[in-house]
Amino acid sequence: MPELPEMPETAHAAETAEMHDALETQETAEMPPSLAPTTGLGVLHLFCRAPGGVDVPAVLEAETAARKAGAQVVAASILGHKADVALMVLGPDLWQLRRFQSGVAAAGLEPISSYVSLTEVSEYAAGLPDELKQSRLYPQLPPEGKPAFCFYPMSKRRGSAPESHNWYVLDYADRLELMVKHGRIGRQFHGRVLQLVTGSVGLDDFEWGVTLFAVHPDDLKECVYQMRFDRASALYADFGPFYTGMVADLETVLASAPR
């Protein structure tokens, strides 16, 4: 059989370049454009079961990819039956949060609950210094020295009966007065508890997600207890399920889960 003539070197180069362009086009087509809030970050809380066979290196790889893309990842080992692992990921691109979710699920972590929200500056905090506003929109987590973790969603009550309380029929001035008093109680725990309230109106089942980091677990308990006596909570707040645990690096958290 006669040998086929060798392809000229220039043809090799052209073919290689064509293949490279085709791969680039394919990758671009598979990668959707970013979707980001106009200000602040997207926030995704994943509460997962860790059945046997979790691919730990693959989970760590998903974390590394998220961090390289500009996201923050907070891991917590959860106490009780609701979940084994909590993963809180914050980033400017919602598609990146989705890729992280897909990555950890493919590695064997099973999300059994989740919460979607955005960082925000409350309408009642207009007078805050810019530095504090930025810390709410672009927090750096987890805070050092606060390993106790708690998350819960909440909404303001919208009762319809005459004797019920409806936050949304109050005048702004009345709501502002209540929230200023509410904030004073929270500031009593400065240095012991860091609170991040993220907005989820129109995004999830409740209106806000509240993530707390504390020095000791009883700091969490005392803070939430004291704030429930405030009128803004006592009359107008409804709470969802609480998830409590300990913040650690992801490898340590995964090691604490069932194997």
Query: Residue 15: what pLDDT?
Result: 53
Structure tokens at 240: 């969802």
Residue 11 pLDDT greater than 70, yes or no: no
Residue 74 pLDDT greater than 70, yes or no: yes
Mean pLDDT of 166-194: 94
Q: What angle do CA 114, 60, 118 make, to 5 degrees?
A: 35
The residue with greater pLDDT, 18 or 95, is 95
Percent of the chain past pLDDT 90, that is, above it, reads 80
Please confirm, yes or no, whether 236 is among the known catalytic residues: no
Are 43 and 87 contacting, i.e. CB atoms less than 8 angstroms apart?
no
Strand positions, DSSP E, the chain: 42-49, 72-78, 85-91, 110-119, 148-156, 193-199, 208-214, 237-239, 243-248
Structure tokens at 123: 């309408």
Q: What is the mean pLDDT of the chain?
A: 90
Q: Which residue segments constitute the domains of the chain, with CATH numbers given?
A: 42-256 (3.30.70.1030)
Strand 42-49 relative to strand 85-91, pairing: antiparallel
Residue 16 pLDDT greater than 60, yes or no: no
List the catalytic residue out of 115, 124, 138, 152: 152
Residue 27 pLDDT greater than 70, yes or no: no
